């Protein structure tokens, strides 16, 4: 995927969100091991924007809702530990929507995309095709983030074993 910062049309759709201090607070929270929640939201937004643009869908709403879909300002691991993963899965779309409505102007489609982005866990599907694209982009980005962390861990382990074997040989 190309660097979103050099995509002028994408930046025109989302620059107010990218520059907003509340959105940038997402950098304080880890999403999946190695990546921040801010990075995760940008990846989801840009992937969904690209897909929607190719398919003739509403890429502006997809780009904006993608950035805001995980706009909850707490460490999800705390909630996970206290109430379990299911609770977090159900609760954080509502928290994200509450924050998104507080700081940004949303249309009905963007509201629905954010609220329903954990389908099928949350049972009620998104009302719009762009919502399904966000669900797909979210899952794909999560998988890529987890995989890159696992790969880095395996490479590190392999490196350590190689050093150990080298020193054992003398
Ligand atoms: Fe989420
Ligand atoms: Fe997400």
Higher-scoring residue by pLDDT: 156, 60: 60
Residue 41 CA, ligand 2 centroid: distance in Å: 6
Q: What is the CA radius of gyration of the chain?
A: 18
Q: Tell me how far the alpha carbon of residue 122 lies from the centroid of ligand 1, in angstroms.
A: 11
Q: Give the pLDDT confidence score for residue 169 in this predicted structure.
A: 80
Q: Which two tokens stand for residue 25?
A: 């607070």
How is 131-165 classified by DSSP, letter by letter? Answer: HHHHHHHHHHHHHHHHHHHHHHHHHHHHHHHHHHH
Of 44, 8, 29, nearest to 137 by C-alpha is 44
**First-residue to last-residue Cα distance in the chain:** 45
Ligand nearest to the CA of 72: 1
pLDDT at 34 over 90: no
- Mean pLDDT of all residues in the chain? 91
Measure 168 CA to ligand 1 centroid, in angstroms.
47
Identify which ligand lies nearest to the alpha carbon of 96: 1
Confidence check: pLDDT of 84 > 80: no
Residue 88: nearest ligand to its CA? 1
Q: In whole angstroms, what is the distance from residue 154 CA to residue 168 CA? A: 21
- Which of these, 154, 132, 147, 146, lies nearest to 32 by C-alpha position? 146
% of the chain at pLDDT higher than 90: 66
pLDDT at 54: 98
Let me know: does 44 contact 133? Beta carbons within 8 Å: no
Q: What is the pLDDT of residues 101-127, one digit of tens each?
A: 999 999 999 999 999 999 999 999 999
Tens of pLDDT along 45-83? 999 999 999 999 999 999 999 999 999 998 888 877 777
Residue 85 has pLDDT above 80, yes or no: no
pTM above 0.95, yes or no: no
Please state the separation of Cα 159 from the chain's center in Å.
Answer: 31
What is the pLDDT, as a whole number, of residue 89? 85
């Amino acid at each position: 995927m190309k660097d979103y910062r050099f995509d002028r049309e994408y930046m025109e759709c989302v620059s107010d969100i990218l520059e907003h201090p509340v959105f940038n607070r997402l950098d304080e929270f880890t999403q999946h091991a190695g990546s921040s929640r801010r990075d995760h939201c940008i990846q989801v937004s840009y992937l969904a924007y690209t897909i929607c643009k190719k398919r003739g869908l509403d890429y502006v709403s997809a780009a904006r809702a993608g950035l805001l879909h995980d706009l909850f300002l707490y460490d999800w691991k705390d909630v996970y530990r206290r109430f379990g993963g299911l609770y977090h899965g159900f609760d954080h779309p509502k928290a994200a929507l509450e924050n998104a409505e507080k700081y940004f102007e949303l249309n009905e489609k963007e509201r629905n995309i954010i609220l329903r982005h954990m389908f099928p866990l949350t049972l009620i599907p998104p009302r719009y095709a762009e919502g399904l694209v966000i669900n797909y982009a979210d899952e794909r980005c999560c998988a890529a983030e987890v995989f890159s962390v696992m790969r880095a861990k395996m490479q590190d382990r392999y490196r350590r074993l190689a050093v150990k074997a080298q020193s054992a040989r003398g």
